[in-house]
Amino acid sequence: MQRARLASRKSSVQNTVVEVGGQYFGGAAFPVIAGPCAVETQEQIALIAEGVRAAGGGLLRAGAYKPRTSPYDFQGLAQEGLALLTEAGHRVGMPVVTEVVAPEQVPLVARYADMLQVGTRNMGNYELLKAVGRSRRPCLLKRGMSSTLEEWVMAAEYILAAGNPNVVLCERGIRTFENYTRNTLDLSAVPAVKELTHLPVVVDPSHGTGRRSLVKPMALAAVAAGADGLMVEVHHDPERSWTGDGKQSLDIAQFAELMVEIRAFLPTVGKTRQDAVAESITPELVTRSASGRAAAKATHW
Ligand code: PEP
Ligand code: MN
């Protein structure tokens, strides 16, 4: 990692802490970014924002510009989606994270978003990385699905070199021969990247596995591996999600359960919780989650 002048661990023994709207990545806290794959409607994003907040989520995520495999699939609500996301998140006191896919869109997305996401397909889009670097908005930089750790860290270097020190890395799984899972979540990347850089690293077990049943075990494993936070897809009605990512999305009750388990686990790795409102989840909120399972669960709260 000789060439990573700014991102290299050699340039700083101290870990970088990235602040996003009162949430801190890389310190003793453990911020959880949660929300749907895409903004669909005002009602959808508002309901999920409330649920995520009540369960103790720290930042709200959702895409307004979706990089889809097929041009015929839902592409996102674009600027209208940005406005709906920011309104829903800020109304419940959560900063928002959303993907930017083109360099010329960075100023627009940065006007709405507290944190810019660079997705796996764009990790090597160097003009986009430079534009994100110029914007100075904190950036969540996902690992390219076929990228080595060195390529990923050098992508972060582009953003740092353009003047933006606020980069959080996100391991989201890589392509392997295995196809039972959507990707192979490389949890060894977490401690490895911490040896190589001083930047915070979070884990996305949703895209990392593609399967709802694997999200919780991999989220807990990410805590154990030393991650600085998580990104989890949450939808109030995953079966009716407008993108294919419903299969990997938790409903609101499942997300609340996950948060309870994470919270119990954090002290063992020296992390503290940062979710003062976690106890405010109510049976009503869980019941409003559309799935039958969520409604049944609500009776236990
Ligand atoms: C997403 O976060 O919805 C997304 C498209 O992620 P990735 O770039 O990791 O596929
Ligand atoms: Mn998604």
Output the CA 139–ligand 1 centroid distance in Å.
14
Looking from the CA of 249 toward its CB, the CA atoms found within 13 Å total: 27
Q: Percentage helix, strand, coil, to 5, in the chain?
A: 45, 15, 40
> Which ligand does the CA of 118 lie closest to?
1
The runs of H, that is alpha helices, within 177-234 are 189-196, 205-209, 212-225
* 167, burial (CB in 10 Å: exposed 0-12, middle 13-18, buried 19+): buried
Task: Give how far Cα 260 sits from Cα of 138, 253, 263, 285, Å.
Answer: 28, 11, 5, 16
pLDDT value of residue 288: 42
> Which ligand does the CA of 173 lie closest to?
1
pLDDT value of residue 300: 24
Assess whether the C-beta atom of 35 lies below 6 angstroms from ligand 1: no
pLDDT value of residue 272: 82
Assess whether the C-beta atom of 44 lies below 6 angstroms from ligand 1: no
Residue nearest to atom 3 of ligand 1 (CA): 37
User: What is the best residue among 48, 65, 85, 142 to mutate for testing ligand 1's pocket, by most ligand atoms within 8 Å of CB?
Assistant: 142
pLDDT value of residue 273: 67
* Max Cα distance, the chain (Å): 56
Amino acid identity, residue 33?
I
Instruction: Specify the 3-state DSSP secondary structure of 94.
Output: coil
Assess whether the C-beta atom of 64 lies below 6 angstroms from ligand 1: no
> Which ligand does the CA of 117 lie closest to?
1
Residue nearest to atom 1 of ligand 1 (CA): 37
Output the CA 13–ligand 1 centroid distance in Å.
30
Tokens 């996100």 belong to residue = 170
Per-residue pLDDT of the chain (301 residues), as tens digits, is: 668 999 999 999 999 999 999 999 999 999 999 999 999 999 999 999 999 999 999 999 999 999 999 999 999 999 999 999 999 999 999 999 999 999 999 999 999 999 999 999 999 999 999 999 999 899 999 999 999 999 999 999 999 999 999 999 999 999 999 999 999 999 999 999 999 999 999 999 999 999 999 999 999 999 999 999 999 999 999 999 999 999 999 999 999 999 999 999 999 999 986 554 444 444 444 444 443 333 333 322 2
Output the CA 300–ligand 1 centroid distance in Å.
33
Output the CA 118–ligand 2 centroid distance in Å.
13
Cα–Cα dist 128/125, whole Å: 5
Closest atom of ligand 1 relative to the 143 alpha carbon: 9
